[in-house]
C-alpha cells in the first residue's frame, strides 16, 4: 500500500509520474493483487510490486509511459528445477499529472483534508483502460473531488464504511459507480491516526522519524523552542512550540489518535496524563521507570482516573527491550504504536468509548 501522506505530497509538489497497480498475481512470487508503486523523474519513489526482475520490468515500462494507461503482463523464470522466480503478474500503469490545471480542484481539496481527523477514501477506477486515469476522493456521504471523474457518484453502503477503513477490506474491490459495478482500488486516507509527541527530547526526535516513515501523522508539542528546530524532525511533522496543557485543552483527540507523554519532569507528565485520561485517544503512552508509573497510579486512583485509562494506557511505554539508547528505545515505542494501530477499528472504538472495559493496563509489576 502506498503511504497515506504520499498522496498529499504528490499534490503539494504538483508531481507527474506513473502509478503501477498489480491487478492479478499467480501467487508464485511475493507480489499480490493490490500492491503498488509510484515512478517519477526516472526513479522509483515509493511502494513495491514484489521486487526482483518482475519489478524491474515494471519500472522499465513506467519509464516508457508518458500518457494514458497501459496493462502489462509479465513473468520471470529461472532455468532448471525452479520454474518461476517472481511469478506471473498483470499490472496496470497509469500516467498521473497532478500539476496540470484540470487537477487543481482535486489537488486543493485533498491538501485541505489530508492530514485530518476525518476518514476518507481515495478510489482509483480500474476499468475502461483506454480512458484517462480516474481518481475520486470520497467520504461516507459521497464524492468530494474528482480527477478525470467529474459527475461520477459512488454508492457505498453506510454499514460497509467502517469495514472499508480497515486494512483487510481495502485494496482491490468491486463497488457501484454510477449505478454500475466497477473494479476500484481503495486507498484509505486519515486512517492511521495522528501521533502527538508531548515533548521534543532525544527519544521523541527518534520516534518522530520512525513514526513518519511508518505512516503516522506526527505532531510535536514542546514549549522549549531550542528543541524544536525543523532540521531535527521530518519535513512532514507539525511542530507546535507551545505549552502542553494548552495544546491538549484545545485539541480534539479522537479514537484513532495516539499520545506519547515524554515531558521534561515527573510533575509535567503526571499533569498531562490526568488531562489525557479525559480524552478519547486510542493510545496513551508514558515514558518512565516502574517507580514513576507506580507513583502515577496511586495519584490517579485517588482521583478516580485510573480506571478510565484501562485498555489505552501503555506505561512504561514501548515493547520491552534491554536498551536505553534513544534510537533503540524509539524502535520499541514505534513497534508498539504499529501493533496497536493494526488492531481493528471496531476494537479501538469500543475501548475508547467504553471506559473501564477492555484489557488491563500495560503495567510492569514491581
CATH of the domain at 259: 3.40.50.720
Does 116 fall in a domain? yes
Shared domain check, 115 and 34: no
Lowest mean pLDDT among 14-23, 74-83, 312-321: 74-83
Shared domain check, 229 and 123: no
Does 127 fall in a domain? yes
pLDDT of residue 359: 32
Shared domain check, 237 and 276: yes
Shared domain check, 316 and 265: yes
**pLDDT by residue (tens digit) across 175-203?**
766 667 777 888 888 877 789 999 999 99
pTM of the model as a whole: 0.72
Q: What percent of the chain has pLDDT over 70?
A: 82
pLDDT of residue 303: 94
Shared domain check, 240 and 325: yes
Would the pLDDT of 155 be above 70? Answer: no
Shared domain check, 152 and 128: yes
pLDDT of residue 365: 27
Tell me how many domains the chain contains: 3
Does 365 fall in a domain? no
Does 364 fall in a domain? no
Confidence of residue 266 (pLDDT cuts 50, 70, 90): very high
Its domain, for residue 339, covers 194-353
Report the mean per-residue pLDDT for the chain.
Answer: 83
Would the pLDDT of 11 be above 80? Answer: yes
Shared domain check, 93 and 18: yes
Confidence of residue 245 (pLDDT cuts 50, 70, 90): confident
Last residue within a domain, chosen from 159, 189, 219: 189
Shared domain check, 120 and 25: no
Does 120 fall in a domain? yes
Q: How many CB atoms lie within 10 A of CB 293?
A: 23
Shared domain check, 167 and 24: no
Does 358 fall in a domain? no
Does 40 fall in a domain? yes
Last residue within a domain, chosen from 97, 126, 143: 97
Q: Determine the Cα angle at 33 with ends 27 and 38, to 5°.
A: 125
Last residue within a domain, chosen from 147, 174, 189: 189
Shared domain check, 323 and 234: yes
Shared domain check, 121 and 37: no
Does 359 fall in a domain? no
Shared domain check, 327 and 251: yes
Amino acid at each position: 500500500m502506498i503511504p497515506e501522506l504520499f498522496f498529499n505530497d504528490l499534490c503539494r509538489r504538483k508531481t507527474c509520474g506513473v502509478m503501477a497497480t498489480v491487478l492479478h498475481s499467480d501467487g508464485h512470487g511475493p507480489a499480490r493483487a493490490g500492491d503498488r508503486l509510484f515512478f517519477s523523474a526516472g526513479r522509483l519513489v515509493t511502494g513495491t510490486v514484489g521486487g526482483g526482475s518482475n519489478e524491474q520490468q515494471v519500472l522499465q515500462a513506467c519509464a516508457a509511459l508518458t500518457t494514458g494507461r497501459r496493462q502489462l503482463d509479465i513473468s520471470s523464470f529461472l532455468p532448471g528445477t525452479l520454474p518461476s522466480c517472481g511469478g506471473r503478474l498483470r499490472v496496470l500503469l497509469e500516467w498521473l499529472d497532478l500539476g496540470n490545471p484540470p487537477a487543481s480542484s482535486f489537488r486543493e481539496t485533498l491538501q485541505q483534508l489530508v492530514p485530518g481527523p476525518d476518514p476518507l477514501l481515495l478510489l482509483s477506477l480500474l476499468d475502461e483502460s483506454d480512458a484517462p486515469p480516474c481518481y475520486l476522493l470520497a467520504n461516507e456521504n459521497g464524492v468530494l473531488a474528482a480527477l478525470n471523474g467529474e459527475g461520477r457518484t459512488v454508492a457505498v453502503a453506510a454499514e460497509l464504511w467502517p469495514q472499508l477503513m480497515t486494512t483487510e477490506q481495502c485494496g482491490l474491490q468491486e463497488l457501484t459507480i454510477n449505478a454500475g459495478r466497477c473494479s476500484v482500488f481503495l486507498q484509505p486516507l486519515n486512517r492511521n491516526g495522528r501521533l502527538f509527541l508531548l515533548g521534543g527530547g532525544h527519544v521523541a526526535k527518534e520516534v518522530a522519524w520512525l513514526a513518519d516513515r511508518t505512516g503516522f501523522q506526527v505532531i510535536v508539542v514542546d514549549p522549549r523552542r531550542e528543541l524544536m528546530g525543523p532540521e531535527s524532525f521530518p519535513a512532514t511533522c507539525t511542530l507546535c512550540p507551545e505549552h502542553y496543557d494548552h495544546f491538549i485543552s484545545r485539541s480534539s483527540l479522537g479514537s484513532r489518535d495516539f499520545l506519547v507523554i515524554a515531558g521534561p519532569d515527573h510533575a509535567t507528565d503526571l499533569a498531562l496524563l490526568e488531562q489525557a485520561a479525559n480524552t478519547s485517544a486510542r493510545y496513551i503512552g508514558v515514558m518512565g521507570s516502574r517507580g514513576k508509573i507506580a507513583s502515577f497510579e496511586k495519584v490517579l486512583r485517588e482521583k478516580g482516573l485510573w480506571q478510565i485509562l484501562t485498555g489505552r494506557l501503555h506505561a512504561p511505554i514501548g515493547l520491552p527491550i534491554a536498551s536505553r539508547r534513544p534510537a533503540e528505545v524509539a524502535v520499541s515505542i514505534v513497534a508498539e504504536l504499529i501493533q496497536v494501530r493494526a488492531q481493528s477499528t471496531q476494537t479501538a472504538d469500543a475501548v475508547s468509548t467504553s471506559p473501564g472495559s477492555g484489557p488491563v493496563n500495560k503495567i510492569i509489576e514491581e
